[in-house]
Amino acid sequence: MPSAAAKKKAERKKALEKERMAKKLGKKEEDGEPVEAEAEGKVCPVGKITEEVKQLNARSTAGVLSSPALGADIHIHNFTMSFHGHVLCQDTNFELNYGNRYGLLGANGCGKTTLLKALAEQDIPLQKHIDIFYLNREMEASDKTPIECVQEVDEERTRLEEEIEWMMTEDPENPRLNQIYERLEELDVDKAEAKAARILTGLGFTAQMQRKKLSDFSGGWRMRVSLARALFVKPYLMLLDEPTNHLDLNACVWLEQELKTYKSILVLISHSQDFLNNVCTNIIYMQRSRIMQFSGNYDTFIQTLNEQQENQMKKYSKEQVDIAKMKEYVARFGHGSRKLAKQGKSKEKLLNKRLAEGLTEAVYREKTVSFKFAEVSSLPSPVMMVQGVSFRYNETTPWIYDNLEFGMDLDTRVALVGPNGAGKSTLLKLISGELLPTDGMIRRHSHLKIARYHQHLADQLDLEATPLEYMMAQYPEMKDIEGTRKIVGRYGITGKQQTTPIGCLSDGQRCRVALAWLAWQKGHFLLLDEPTNHLDIETIDALADAIKAFNGGMVLVSHDFRLINQVAEEIWECRDGDIHKWTGDIIEYKHHLVENMGNESVNMAQSADNRVKARKSTAPAPVAAAPKPTTSIKIGFAPPVETAAPAATNGKSNGGYVPPHMRRKQAQAEESEDWFGDD
């Protein structure tokens, strides 16, 4: 038993500890009141520190800018970047040269978006004359119209004029002066509104939509406004992260034509091979904490990479054979007769020297993913009949579809194409039963099960749960955690990623979790609305293989021409409230879009809003929508009527831009002419 003195000593020690803790909390202990009661209602310093830590930048970068202060190119040496302690790049060099358009490639989670953010936020400070526009999020909802938001991005005129004045005094022979003069001519205020309207029209905005408030648009349309701002301002360094994700095929073709003539530096992340081939002049490839650069478009990059890997593998195999022979010789004769032992030691020295110099590494192969949709039981045809279906959202909105008639079975492989607003996603919702027809009916087989993937499905995942927890919560029959690991791992979520919260995964990895959820739905029919968003090229190829091996039906909406060409057997064009079967393939459809880019009836007059506009031009429109026509719709392609394309303008003023240091001289010259020419 402790003595009385020991008890008093322990009590005194506890009292001193309480007083010390009270001082830490900024309070003094009062007589008869415990410290906990005094600290009630106060914020614990530990909690405050935790919140501050959460706000810290999880990205860490280091590197050296080796370009001159007035240089046109960006050269960064010894670049190292990590995210949450995971090293993404280490002691690597890369350069961005003026006039080149770079495609940034790499597996999901390798750090592509993190690299763009590091450049945009100038973790490595760049030259002062380089302005940057980073497209990573949509415009915030406000009362401004899209055309107002685009025009307000004109803040660089003053900066460029000040730069000209500085260069004329410090370095008047600098070639950058010509670039600044050309840039200022492009910023002609008189044609700013027409230029903004042209860009918005190319991205799918009608004249009526350009005057609506941003708060009336969804996130995807506000992202298009951000893209329009980037194209309007034409920065020195433009960084685009998946710019085609929220675009339809028409807008993708227009954007491709717009970006392929970009004059300064463009860096974009895209997983559309067709888009990369037509836009990019160089490829930046991220793999195993290294940044590798290649000249040429995507096809040239693949060819060059395969040749390098083939040569590397040959060199590696030869070195391994030589090393094995040396080791065998040393092992056999290193301890034999004096002469053989001397030769063995010589071989051993040569072996150690080669090992010290370093050997060629084996070719690194990215982990392959193999998707698989479960086999489904056969159902008699047709499994779905669409009979006289018409649809509109309410009594005051126009008809999106009028009297549709078609059937589908488990052999159906259809890709829906057409501009935004034509009703592609609406048709998928009608087929799945999420929306009910305004008129007509859709008959489905009683045993038909539909699995639908939409482009915002990855955003609806539980971000606090891990992929394993999410799958086991969605499918309670998954009680074996090892079996769940195999299912999730098949979709490229392996190792620590399986136990990492979904909120800490990259966008591409979240989409893989959503695809794993979709595959386990075991539907007879797949309805895929933009399934390639955020996926890398290898994953898209794996998805295409899984769709081709699937024994059920499929309806696809995608802006990826290559995926459509791989999996679609029929192409249905949603246009003017009807469905028309395109008689050619998707490549011919793309050529059709390019040829008709200036045709307003093809590019923008196909959505429901424009159909109302067309009716207004012929007759006064009633308050309510026009009644449903009684004519039946035939599925057959009818090419639109060709109209004359509008006259092209180069966006430059007739007189050209006059720099500020020349305005005074010009004014003085005009005054002198008036003086001597006065009658």
Q: How is the chain split into domains, by residue range?
A: 4-55, 142-229, 314-357, 455-522
CA distance 45 to 48: 5
- Specify the pLDDT at position 138: 77
**Residues contacting residue 452 through CB under 8 Å, at least 6 positions apart:** 428, 432, 434, 523, 526, 527, 529
More confident residue, 262 or 248: 262
CA distance 642 to 639: 9
Is the pLDDT at 541 greater than 80? The verdict is yes
Give Cα separations from 256 to 10, 202, 251, 276, 657 (angstroms).
78, 11, 8, 9, 29
- Specify the pLDDT at position 669: 52
Classify strands 74-83 and 86-96 as parallel, antiparallel or unpaired.
antiparallel
Q: Assign 3-state DSSP to the chain and report helix, strand, coil percentages, each to 5.
A: 45, 15, 40
- Specify the pLDDT at position 5: 66
Q: What is the pTM of this model?
A: 0.69
421, two tokens: 């607003």
Are 474 and 487 within 8 A, CB to CB?
Answer: no
- Please state, as a whole number, how many other Cβ atoms lie within 10 Å of the Cβ of residue 496: 9
In the DSSP assignment, the letter for residue 413 is E
Is the pLDDT at 405 greater than 60? The verdict is yes
Is the pLDDT at 436 greater than 60? The verdict is yes
More confident residue, 1 or 294: 294
CA distance 632 to 345: 91
Range among 288-302, 530-544, 665-679 rated most confident: 288-302
Is the pLDDT at 66 greater than 70? The verdict is yes
- Specify the pLDDT at position 337: 65
For residue range 420-435, what is the model confidence (pLDDT) as tens digits?
Answer: 778 888 999 999 999 9
- Specify the pLDDT at position 619: 38
Is the pLDDT at 633 greater than 50? The verdict is no
Backbone dihedral region for residue 266 (phi beyond 0: left; psi -120 to 50: alpha; all else: beta):
beta
Is the pLDDT at 265 greater than 90? The verdict is yes
pLDDT, average across residues 492-511: 86
- Specify the pLDDT at position 193: 79
% pLDDT > 90, the chain = 24
Classify strands 384-391 and 290-295 as parallel, antiparallel or unpaired.
unpaired
Determine which of 282-291, 333-342, 480-489, 611-620 has the lowest per-residue pLDDT on average: 611-620
- The SS3 call for residue 131 is coil
- Specify the pLDDT at position 620: 42
97, two tokens: 């040269």
Is the pLDDT at 354 greater than 50? The verdict is yes
Q: pLDDT confidence of 253, banded at 50, 70, 90?
A: confident
In Å, the largest CA–CA distance within the chain is 124
Q: What is the DSSP string of 97-147?
A: -TT-EEEEEE-TTSSHHHHHHHHHTTSS---TT--EEEE-SPPPP-S--HH
- Specify the pLDDT at position 42: 43
pLDDT, average across residues 86-94: 89
- Specify the pLDDT at position 23: 55
pLDDT, average across residues 638-657: 42
- Specify the pLDDT at position 69: 86
pLDDT, average across residues 356-371: 79
- Specify the pLDDT at position 262: 92
N-terminal to C-terminal alpha carbon distance within the chain: 124
For residue range 438-485, what is the model confidence (pLDDT) as tens digits?
Answer: 999 999 999 999 999 987 777 778 888 899 988 988 888 888 888 888
pLDDT, average across residues 547-570: 91
Is the pLDDT at 650 greater than 50? The verdict is no
- Specify the pLDDT at position 213: 87
- Please state, as a whole number, how many other Cβ atoms lie within 10 Å of the Cβ of residue 104: 24
Determine which of 151-165, 396-410, 562-576, 653-667 has the lowest per-residue pLDDT on average: 653-667
